[in-house]
Amino acid sequence: MKIRALLLVVAALIGCAACSSQKKVGSAIDVNALKSKNGLLGQVNANQKKGGNNVVLGQATPVPTGNAAAAQAANAQRQAQINAQKQSVAVSFAITPTGFNPYYIRVYAGGVVSVTNQDKVARSVTADRGQFDSGLIKPGGTWEYDPKTPGKFNFHDSTRPYVVGTLEVDTR
């Protein structure tokens, strides 16, 4: 009997907790929406006291924290590397036992692309449409190419046609 009474009390408490977080039937007040608006108004008031005006009602300015800040920093660093490579007049990549590293290269027209064979056998860099061909590059050897025409050029290793890459040549 005591257990049944205890269970009824617990069920009643759970029911009340569930009701308080939802809109009441027939009521036009959404408690959660009010809490959110009050929080934003509090931000506006606090900001106005400090003399600032960068918080707008209905819009919260996100502040990166924790993993979000780290992700933003990593994305910014990656973009900076891409931009630096794109603006470079000289880029290099390698032919490895597993393929081209990197397999996507960007350079300005008139720049120099340098390829080093890091594999133990002779390899090549051959444009799919014949714009360039290194011929066989000995292990440890290097080949340089100075692209003059802007565009995207797909290439492959003629000794392993399944090993592919792309050279993007931009104008300044």
Distances (CA, A) of 8 to 1, 2, 107, 127, 162: 11, 10, 74, 78, 70
Structure tokens at 4: 């049944």
Domain membership of residue 122 (yes or no) is yes
Domain membership of residue 107 (yes or no) is yes
Written as tens digits, the pLDDT of the chain (172 aa) is: 566 655 555 555 555 544 544 444 444 455 555 455 455 444 444 444 444 444 333 344 454 556 888 888 888 887 777 666 555 578 999 999 999 999 999 998 888 999 999 999 999 999 999 999 999 999 999 999 999 899 999 999 999 999 999 999 998 7
Domain membership of residue 158 (yes or no) is yes
Supply the range of the domain harboring residue 99.
84-170
CATH of the domain at 94: 2.60.40.420
pTM of the complete model = 0.50
Number of domains in the chain: 1
Distances (CA, A) of 150 to 62, 111, 147: 40, 11, 8
